[in-house]
Each structure stands twice: as C-alpha cells, then as structure tokens.
Chain A
C-alpha cells in the first residue's frame, strides 16, 4: 500500500515527436520504446524519475510528472 512505489505520469505529445530515438537510448532503465515513428511508454513501473527523457528531448515531446 504505502510501500508501493508511486508511479510518475509520462505525457507524450505525439504531434511533436519526430522519432529521433534520443529518449529511448538515453533512458537508463529502458522505459520507452519506438512504436513506428513515435515514442511510447513500454514499462512505466521501471521509471526512476530521472527526467533524462524530458531533459534531452529536442522536440518538447515528453513531459514527466513526478510528485
């Protein structure tokens, strides 16, 4: 219950994503994957909220909401 890890919310703005793979490659726990030309969340439970994807995305396409 309270020990359960609180998961962040990852918002992907598909209209902005150009499929450069930067977020997928630089995610240390491989949370993200490519679905066609657009990034999508593969396994949210692995997310450690490091914000690397949000920091590195050149296209403003990823937002990580972590409390």
Chain B
C-alpha cells in the first residue's frame, strides 16, 4: 500500500516551495516515516527550525512547530525542552543555519547533551539567499560569492558534533532514502543530544554552478561518495580517500541535561545531595 504521509502533513500546505529535485522533500518524508514508526503524537512533538530552505520544513508538519530567528533553533528548542521535558523536540535546519549563524547555539546544545534531535540538511550552500558559500562548501567548489572557487576548508558537521559533546551522531544521504527514517528514529529514541547530518543536493544554486548536469548526477554522486561505517572498517586509507562515512558514527551514554537540571532544583530545595 502507498505510504500515508498525509497523517503528519498540515492540510492544504502541499505542494511545498522547494525547487524541483531538492532533497529536502526526501528528508521530510524520512522524518514523517521515523515519527510514524515511533508512534509520536502530534501534540507531544515540537519541531523547531531557524531560517533557510530546510527550515521551511516545520511549516508542512502538523505538529507543534516553531519557526524562529536565523540560527537560533537550538536556543528556542532548549527552552521548549526545559519547560516541557516530556515533549519530543526535533530541530531541523540547514548547514548555514546550523553551523555558521547558529554555530554557537549548536555547539552548546551539543555540549549540554540535552535530549533533542537535530536533523541538519547539508546541501553545501545557502540556497534561499542566492547561493553564497557556507561553512560546509567543499574546498575549491563554486558559489555565488566564490566564483573562482572556495578557498576555505569545510566543516565536517558530524566531527564537529562529536567534538562538541553530542552523544548520538549519524550521517545519511538523500540518495539513501530508506536509511534516513531509521537514523532519525534512532536519534529520537536516544536520550541526549542526537545530531543527524543528511547530505543533500541543491540543484538550483550549487549544482548549476559546479557543472552538475542534473539532479540525477547529484544523487549519483551521493551514492558514490557514501560508504557505510561497517564497510569502511575493511577498507584502506587509500580507498577511503574522498569518501564520506554514513550510518551511526558515534553513540555514548552520558548524563542528560534535563535530568541534571532537575537534580539542581532538588538540591536547591534541600532534597537530594
């Protein structure tokens, strides 16, 4: 049977605004399948985003949604989670929103290990504002503000999240659509900060400038560079050159922030020591 996505879609909002071939729609479907597989209730799920193409996602979801200031999704979501710890808080956003403008909030949300799930759609560029280079634009690739190639080395979002202290870090791609919902579902179930980076395509502002002839070529590139973590263990460093690891990259059990904060409240009232 056809999958019933309409259950979690806000009525009358489709078709969405994303360009033809944009992978954000595939991630949206993955998120819906993940929520459906865990039977998350709409009224107990908050989806928070900042500004950008990817951050338009909550507008299509029939849940408790929050569309906030640029890069500040993590700050608002921390507030939601601390005020209502029983809610499932899911953050969505792009690479520019999450790691450039919201980089500060992102690393500190990771450091606190607060029980939230951050889905970062990394399309290597600022799509909505006209294709400026972002911190994840690969070295020497072109953007509207780097017409002769980007001189900067790029961020590895997964490594950044691990370094900052997130306790569940995974990576998927828009090509591996079946994997997206499993990674997100595992992230939602994990107690602590989960970061799921989804490598995406932006045919309009990134592909066009970097000689990708079509959406299909961009999707096939994702297929070629992605290597599952288990397969990578058997490969040599030479074979792994230019490849990107996918799957669950890091998982740890560390004290969660809401529980720790509850202890602070109890201590201040003369309770638990």
A interface, CB within 8 angstroms of B: 11, 15-16, 18-22, 25-26, 54-61, 63-66
Given A55-B178, A59-B15, A59-B25, CB of A19 within 8 Å of CB of B1: no
Count of chain B residues with Cβ under 8 Å from any Cβ of A? 26
Are A20 and B1 in contact, CB atoms less than 8 angstroms apart? no
Q: Is B160 an interface residue (CB 8 A)?
A: no
Q: Is the interface of A mostly helix, strand, loop or mixed?
A: loop
A49 to B21, CA, bound (A): 22
A55 to B175, CA, bound (A): 10
Residue of A nearest to B1 (CB): A65
B interface, CB within 8 angstroms of A: 1-3, 5, 9, 14-16, 18-26, 28-29, 177-178, 203, 214-216, 219
Residue of B nearest to A37 (CB): B20
Query: Which residues does chain B contribute within 8 Å of A61, judged by CB atoms?
Result: 15
Given A16-B14, A19-B20, CB of A58 within 8 Å of CB of B26: yes
A65 to B16, CA, bound (A): 23
Query: Which residues does chain A contribute within 8 Å of B20, judged by CB atoms?
Result: 18-20, 59
Contact partner of B215 among A20, A54, A66, CB < 8 A?
Answer: A20
Query: Which residues does chain B contribute within 8 Å of A11, judged by CB atoms?
Result: 2
Residue of B nearest to A9 (CB): B2
Additional A-B contacts beyond A21-B21, A25-B216, A26-B216 (6; CB < 8 A): A15-B15, A19-B20, A20-B215, A21-B215, A58-B28, A63-B2
Query: Which residues does chain A contribute within 8 Å of B9, judged by CB atoms?
Result: 60
Given A16-B14, A21-B215, A22-B215, CB of A58 within 8 Å of CB of B23: yes
A-B contact pairs, 15 of them (CB 8 A): A16-B14, A16-B15, A18-B19, A20-B215, A21-B214, A22-B215, A25-B216, A55-B177, A58-B21, A58-B28, A59-B14, A63-B3, A64-B2, A65-B1, A65-B2
Give the one of A16, A58, A65 with max B CB within 10 A.
Answer: A58
Query: Which residues does chain A contribute within 8 Å of B15, judged by CB atoms?
Result: 15-16, 18, 59-61
Are B215 and A56 in contact, CB atoms less than 8 angstroms apart? no
